[in-house]
Amino acid sequence: MQPRKLPIDYTLAFLVVCFSIFSLVGIYSGSGQYASSNPMLFVRRQLVFYVIGFILMMAVAYFDFEVIEKWTWFFYGVGMVLLLAVPLVGVEKNGAQRWLNLGMEIQPSEIMKIFLVIHIAMLLARAGKYRLSFKESVIVTSKILLYSVVPLYLIFAQPDLGTTLMIVFTLFVMMFASSISLKVISILTSIGLAGIGAFAYLYVYQLDFLKSILPSHQVPRILGWLNPAEYSQGIGYQLQQSLLGIGSGQLTGAGFRNGYQVQSGRVPEAHTDFIFAAIGEEFGFIGTSILVILFFLLIYRIITIAFHANSLFGVYICIGVIGLFTFQVFQNIGMTIGLMPITGLALPFISYGGSALLTNMLALGLVTSVHLRTKSYMFGEEETIE
């Protein structure tokens, strides 16, 4: 089925425009401490990223996503090469080596998460739509783990715990929605819950042992997350200032560029990881609620597209994108209000950054491609998904 003249979903496009407004306003307000001599520096760059991203979204939507299914091996291989290049020639920032300088700095883990999603979507689509036996499910699950373990290890070693957890969550969501046996899903769920329980036990009763087995850079983040008041002048400073900023915003906020915590520079990375704190302080509960509602509408729209898709591969692409966006939104907002530990995950479409924004727009392009090639049939009949 040929796409429409304009390869675009107008609902998704409208949401992207709304996100861009929040992003540009938040970045302008939160980047003052980093660009005092040129307050428009990061805004202009983000606007350029949005224009390029929108073109990328339309370009990806123009191509038939089912053709991409034949090339998932190639994309997976490219992603692996980029990840393997990071420890060799990668750029280091803030103690983490996550970027490659290819004329412009890119973050291979951002690219790999999309390539891995479409590769796993291909594997699940080939497994079919009917419930698999336990043995068949173990085989499919083993393949998924085989293709995931190496990129996950490379991303975790950068170190990038946030992206690692995001991919793990996304793969689990895709598997949960697939034809894999519920027994296998239950086993995987039990393993995850056991890990969380073991962490909680060690934190309460064996904290010294927990510190000895965790990476050294993760220990301060966990202590600062669980006890922000106790460590407010040290490892919990960032979270404490974020909480003060969001709390002081109250219902309507302090007003554009009037947030004391943000404008005084007390909230580090207020234009990137902690941009939600800037929005919360200056636009209050109303502003943050509107932003969260926009994210709900985005997820709902992608769910609707998945429900109407005629291709299993397309369905799993949509589910994978839902998993990526859901985890990022929950993790980023959660860490600014103390519900989740602080990681380097950006707020999708809002935080400043080229690699993350372009990757998210690429993901929306794939979803749009699925939508534009969904066939409707007279009298409500639909093509059988095979």
In order along its 386 residues, the chain shows pLDDT tens digits of 454 556 788 999 999 999 999 999 999 988 876 666 677 888 999 999 999 999 999 999 998 888 988 899 999 999 999 999 998 888 887 777 888 887 778 889 999 999 999 999 999 999 988 899 999 999 999 999 999 999 999 999 888 888 999 999 999 999 999 999 999 999 999 999 999 999 888 888 888 888 888 777 777 777 777 777 676 676 778 888 888 899 988 999 898 888 888 888 888 888 889 999 999 999 999 999 999 999 999 999 999 999 999 899 999 999 999 999 999 999 999 999 988 888 878 999 999 988 899 999 999 999 999 999 887 654 554 444 44
Tokens of 241: 């200032």
Partner residues linked to 92 by β-bridges:
97
**Domains of the chain, residue spans:** 10-180+218-373
What pLDDT sits at residue 3?
Answer: 47
* Angle, vertex CA 384, rays to CA 382 and CA 385, nearest 5: 120
- Phi-psi region at 123: left, alpha or beta (left = phi > 0; alpha = psi -120 to 50): alpha
What pLDDT does 112 receive? 94
Q: Phi/psi of residue 92, each to 5°?
A: -100, 135
Residue 165 CA to its chain's centroid (Å): 10
Say if CB 59 and CB 49 are below 8 A apart: no
Contacts of 23 (CB under 8 A, 6+ apart): 46, 50, 275, 349, 350, 351, 352
Read off the tokens for 186: 């239950």
| Contact assessment for residue 274 and residue 268, using Cβ atoms and an 8 Å cutoff | yes
pLDDT at 375: 74
Neighbours of 98 (CB within 10 A): 24
d(CA 239, CA 265): 13
Report the C-alpha gap between 291 and 15 in whole angstroms. 10
Phi/psi at 305 (5° precision): -65, -40
Rounded Cα gap, residues 104 and 17, in angstroms:
25
Q: Which residues pair with 93 in a beta bridge?
A: 96
Measured in residues, the chain has a length of 386
Residues 6+ apart with CB under 8 A from 305: 9, 318, 367, 370, 371, 374
Q: Tell me the three-class secondary structure of the chain, residue by residue.
A: CCCCCCCCCHHHHHHHHHHHHHHHHHHHHHCCCCCCCCCCHHHHHHHHHHHHHHHHHHHHHHCCHHHHHCCHHHHHHHHHHHHHHHHHHCEEECCEEEEEECCCEECHHHHHHHHHHHHHHHHHHHCCCCCCCHHHHHHHHHHHHHHHHHHHHHHHCCCCHHHHHHHHHHHHHHHHCCCCCHHHHHHHHHHHHHHHHHHHHHHHHCHHHHHHHCCCCHHHHHHHHHCCCCCCCCCCHHHHHHHHHHHHHCCCCCCCCCCHHHHCCCCCCCCCCCHHHHHHHHHHHHHHHHHHHHHHHHHHHHHHHHHHCCCHHHHHHHHHHHHHHHHHHHHHHHHHCCCCCCCCCCCCCCCCCHHHHHHHHHHHHHHHHHHHCCCCCHHHCCCCCC
Rounded to an integer, what distance in angstroms lies between the CA atom of residue 320 and that of residue 178?
11
